[in-house]
């Protein structure tokens, strides 16, 4: 039986784990990446966009369209994470500056138009703050019915990483997340409950180091600089969400009602998750388990299929 790769749009804020997710999306035979959209998040929009362009060129996909989106959260001042991802967003990976430029269209227009033209075919995967997605939903509410699936890396049912209550992608733009979770579709939420288990420990980096220039130029320098002093090794959050689309067997999902806290003095950006909500009230499928060895197997397989380019 011939495998039909799933078409995906990746909305991202590269970002070290975003870079690993983009590389996976390009390498996986189960995925057909149709475009990359960028948003402000880990670093500013000009940097996340430049990083997406640098990555497409380095990863042998110079024709992959990149669309820049929102430079600021809907209502709040920007929240960035240079202390985690480095000043340019890719840690210690010294990729050359981009040769090309982003397409002129706004990210939210690309998302709306592409999904409208192929109803039921495209999975939208958001691995940064949800600003572009909220904007797209406000402009085209029918997006919820036209998309095949909608998957995010974000949130948590237990604890945060920016604050004790909130995970970064939700904390950076809680109002956008509230729009997205209340849009009337099912959000597949891949949050810290599972992504904190997906750590690139020494055994993982030893295995990745056999991948030649991909490892030497991108994976090892960026992972080496990826700060997570809490668990000792970096957790590759975004990679889990993209890998789930290619390999749905990796995660265990449970239906739940998720509300985003936007007003709490201590809990702004918290994804308040009710697993006991009646089925008709559920707006999310929440990842609660992950097969970590199988994740690294599929990642290694996808990475080994890439033909990395770029000058020495």
Give the interface with Ca ion as residue ranges (CB under 5 A). Answer: 13, 15, 18, 127-128, 238
Cα 220 to Cα 91, 98, 213, 215, 300: the distances in Å are 10, 20, 10, 5, 14
In the complex, the smallest distance separating the C-beta of residue 81 from Ca ion, rounded to whole angstroms, is 9
Q: Comparing C-alpha atoms, which of 148, 238, 139, 156 is closest to residue 185?
A: 148
Distance in angstroms (rounded) separating the CA atoms of residues 149 and 122 = 7
In the complex, the smallest distance separating the C-beta of residue 204 from Ca ion, rounded to whole angstroms, is 19
In the complex, the smallest distance separating the C-beta of residue 286 from Ca ion, rounded to whole angstroms, is 19
Q: By C-beta, is 15 or 155 nearer to Ca ion?
A: 15
Catalytic option among 83, 237, 244, 300 = 237
Q: By C-beta, is 15 or 27 nearer to Ca ion?
A: 15
Q: By C-beta, is 124 or 127 nearer to Ca ion?
A: 127
300 is catalytic: no
In the complex, the smallest distance separating the C-beta of residue 154 from Ca ion, rounded to whole angstroms, is 9
Q: By C-beta, is 13 or 261 nearer to Ca ion?
A: 13
Distance in angstroms (rounded) separating the CA atoms of residues 242 and 240 = 6
Length of the chain: 312
CB 45 within 8 A of CB 172: no
CB 126 within 8 A of CB 152: yes
Pair of tokens at residue 44: 């500013």
Catalytic residue numbers?
Answer: 237
């Amino acid at each position: 039986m011939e495998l039909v790769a799933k078409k995906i749009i990746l909305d991202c804020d590269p970002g070290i784990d975003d870079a690993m997710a983009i590389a996976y999306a390009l390498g996986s035979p189960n995925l057909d990446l149709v475009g990359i959209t960028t948003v402000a998040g880990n670093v500013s929009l000009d940097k996340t966009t430049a990083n997406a362009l640098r990555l497409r060129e380095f990863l042998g996909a110079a024709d992959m369209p990149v669309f820049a989106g929102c430079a600021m959260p809907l209502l709040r001042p920007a929240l960035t994470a240079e202390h985690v991802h480095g000043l340019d967003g890719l840690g210690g990976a010294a990729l050359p500056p981009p040769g090309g430029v982003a397409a002129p269209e706004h990210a939210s227009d690309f998302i709306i138009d592409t999904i409208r033209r192929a109803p039921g075919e495209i999975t939208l995967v958001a691995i940064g703050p949800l600003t572009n997605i909220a904007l797209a939903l406000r402009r085209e509410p029918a997006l919820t019915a036209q998309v095949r699936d909608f998957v995010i890396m974000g949130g948590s049912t237990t604890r945060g990483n920016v604050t004790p209550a909130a995970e970064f992608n939700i904390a950076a733009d809680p109002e956008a997340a509230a729009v997205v979770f209340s849009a009337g579709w099912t959000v597949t939420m891949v949050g810290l409950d599972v992504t904190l288990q997906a750590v690139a420990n020494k055994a993982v980096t030893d295995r990745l180091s056999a991948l030649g220039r991909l490892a030497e130029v991108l994976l090892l320098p960026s992972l080496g600089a990826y700060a997570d002093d809490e668990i000792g090794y970096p957790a590759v959050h975004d990679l889990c969400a993209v890998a789930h689309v290619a390999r749905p067997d990796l995660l265990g999902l449970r239906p739940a009602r998720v509300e985003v806290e936007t007003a709490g003095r201590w809990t702004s950006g918290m994804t308040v998750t009710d697993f006991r909500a009646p089925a008709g009230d559920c707006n999310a499928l929440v990842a609660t388990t992950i097969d970590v060895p199988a994740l690294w197997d599929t990642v290694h397989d996808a990475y080994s299929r890439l033909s990395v380019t770029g000058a020495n």
